[in-house]
Amino acid sequence: MSDALSYRPKAGEIPTVPGVYRFRDETGRVLYVGKAKNLRARLSNYFAPLSSLHERTRRMVTTAASVEWTTVGTEVEALQLEWTWINEFDPPFNVQFKDDKSYPYLAVTLADEAPRALVTRTTGIRGARYFGPYPKVWAVHETIDLMLKAFPIRTCNNANYKRAMQSGKPCFAGQIGRCFGPCSQKVSIEEHRVIVDEFVSFMASQDRTMINRLTNEMKAAALSQQYELAAKRRDQVKALTNVLEKSAVVLRDNVDIDLFAVEEDELAAAVQLFIVRGGRIRGVRGWVVDKELDLTTGELIDSLLQTAYSGDALPPREIVVPLLPDDSAALEEWLGGIAGRKVHLVAAQRGEKAALLATATQNARQALMLYKTRRSSDFVARSKALEDIQEALGMESAPLRMECYDVSHLSGTNIVASMVVFEDGLPRTDEYRRFSIPESTDDTDSIYRTLSRRLAYLVPEDGPAADAGTEPSLDPPSEPAEGQAKRKKFRYQPNLLIVDGGQPQVAAAARALRESGVTGIQLCGIAKRLEEIWLPDSDYPVILPRNSDALFLIQRIRDEAHRFAITHQRARRKRDIATVLGEIAGLGPARVKVLLQHFGSVSRLKEAPIEAIAEVRGIGPGLAATIHQHFRA
């Protein structure tokens, strides 16, 4: 592949001012839209030698046939124009945000003659004031029911309201005590508007000021023997107190923030937005992001902030993010223009906001895992993935049985390998296997040893016997025969062998496959850094589309092999530690746990003097001397 791109502009032709650029393909379709503080400096990165580019960037620039740019006055204008073009052209290489669900809102239609409260999942109602989003629709209905006890306003639809106002008869919802607007014939339009304003004011601030005022009115009414009014104020106070108690208090009462958490891998990212008002979490929203180009966390945050506040949502005075993007000053100015006041971006490092960010990140991690699981369980997607793998790797048939191998160790000790099996795109956990490797020079040697032992089971019955070093647990008992013995599960031949790694690991696996004499099995490796698929004796990797189900399936089986290996390796390490310390007289499980918590590892305990060991809770000088002597012996 030549490093020269035919459409590369001369360096002197590109201005050095802020602007927005677009890459187009031969048909004129916009592939990617980006912004830059300095167009010449930014675009020069795309036209560096192709071998030095990230694989996904290289694919984008080689797919493109032209690049064009538009200069603007400031970085803020670049932000605005970039977002406009992304919405207009929907470029395939830009970040693709997918809301993982539609969230319910509580809306008050302030533009109506008699505003009403309703539950909605759309945010396009003219003149409406929105509160939320809420995680569940029942939470919105519960909030409305409580708020109506304190501030009774209209809930019926526009048709019923119009019919009631024309006929002079209460609407149906009013007749059953579910609507309290002018259509119920109990309040005037002006009186109703006052109540609506109080409804909106409390939902917007949700502080205790209004509760304190109503409490004072209740006491004053009781003193003046206006008991009906006192009871009404009492019910209002109780309802508003219940509304406040429904929201978890996470920060101080005067804190209004939006908090974004991001959990990502090479292909996708999950975003969680916690909406905190008055120190309470008022709503939660989530996105799933498909990443086509390689993005830094700062660039991803830049995109998600543009997405979050591109509609009717107004940013609060403070937005908490895990990392400040490079153009944070321009983003603050852009967000301030939307909000009509100053907006600050903050990267929480410590304190209560950092603790809340950790909670949101945990939610994002679970959302990403759920997204992967749901995508893998789709039959149509799995079938398409297997067909795409077959085509990409040049296989004669779809890989209905795939096996993936990974190696795990701790500084060269406790070396283990894992084998996971996927059939028809789904895991077969009953056929997972673990390998213990007594000694190895490196990961490639471990892969070679593991594959040699596994492939020995695929040799015909009259061929060489299985490797004597194989663990007994790898060879299930023979099943009863009917006419002829059935093959053991471990002797089912896979269509595709996958190893976790790049060219060196694939070469080691290919050597094991070649020496075994087994044929009819395709081999590949997946390199984690760029998610490249490597084939034996190939100088260039196979690049699957970033959003493809094929790459998603291969990534999932690789991650499962890694998880299985790590779990086994940790279990062995824990067992070894318990065995070492369990040999010492006077050390039971409780004291072993305390020692490990104090020193962190057996190696540190071995190096510790008697005095340091004796300081541990429950370990006296006598037992400390015994422990010290045991390790020295």
Query: Is residue 8 over pLDDT 60?
Result: yes
Do 587 and 607 fall within a single domain? yes
Q: Are residues 598 and 563 in the same domain?
A: no
CA angle 296, 300, 306 (to 5 degrees): 150
Distance CA 362, CA 286 (A): 12
547's torsion region: left (phi>0), alpha (psi -120 to 50) or beta?
alpha
Average pLDDT over residues 95-99: 62
Q: What average pLDDT does the segment 1-29 reach?
A: 83
Instruction: Judge if 354 and 331 occupy the same domain.
Output: yes
| Residue 621 resides in a domain | yes
Residue 398: per-residue pLDDT: 87
Q: Is residue 561 part of a domain?
A: yes
Distance CA 454, CA 512 (A): 10
Residue 492 falls inside a structural domain: yes
Q: Which of 35, 173, 26, 43 is nearest to 114 (CA)?
A: 173
Take residue 319 and report the two structure tokens written for it: 């937005």
Interval 222-244: pLDDT, tens: 888 887 878 877 877 777 676 66
List the domain range (segments joined by +) for residue 623.
583-632
Tell me: the pLDDT tens digits for 314-334? 788 899 998 888 888 888 888
Strand 401-410 and strand 496-500: the pairing is parallel
Residue 519 CA to residue 522 CA, distance in Å, equals: 9
Query: Quick check: helix, strand or coil at residue 254?
Result: coil
SS3 label, residue 547: coil
CA dihedral sign, ordered 37, 91, 381, 362:
positive
| Confidence band for 474, pLDDT divided at 50, 70 and 90 | very low
In this structure, what token pair is assigned to residue 298? 């700062």
Rounded CA separation 426/432 (Å) = 13
State whether 514 and 385 are in the same domain.
Answer: yes
CATH code where residue 300 lies: 3.30.420.10
Are residue 449 and residue 387 in the same domain, yes or no? yes
6 domain-assigned: no
Whether residue 458 is found in the same domain as residue 501: yes
pLDDT 10s digits, 36-68: 888 988 888 888 887 677 767 777 888 888 999
**Can you give the pLDDT at residue 23?**
93
Residue 333 carries which side chain, given as an amino acid letter? E
Out of 373, 389, 422, a domain closes at 373
**pLDDT tier for residue 22 given thresholds of 50, 70 and 90:** very high
**Residue 406's domain is classified under what CATH number?**
3.30.420.340
Nearest residue to 294 via CA among 52, 502, 53: 53
**39 and 157 both lie in a single domain:** no
Spatial distance between the Cα atoms of 606 and 164, rounded to a whole number of angstroms: 85
For the chain, the domain total comes to 5
Asked whether residue 558 falls in the same domain as residue 504, the answer is yes
% the chain with pLDDT above 70: 81
Q: How far apart are CA 513 and CA 502, in angstroms?
A: 16
Pairwise CA distance, residues 274 & 282, whole Å: 8
Q: Do 412 and 265 have their domain in common?
A: no
Confidence band, pLDDT 50/70/90 cuts, at residue 404: very high
Instruction: Please indicate, yes or no, if residue 272 is contained in any of the structural domains.
Output: yes
Has residue 264 been placed in a domain? yes
Residue 392 lies in a domain: yes
Task: Please enumerate in sequence order all residues whose Cβ is within 8 A of that of 172, keeping only pairs 6 or more positions apart, or say none.
Answer: 156, 160
Name the pTM for this structure.
0.50
Mean pLDDT for 276-303 is: 76
| Domain CATH for 36 | 3.40.1440.10
Rounded to an integer, the average pLDDT of 107-120 is: 86
133: cis peptide before it, omega within 30°? yes
Q: Is residue 158 part of a domain?
A: yes
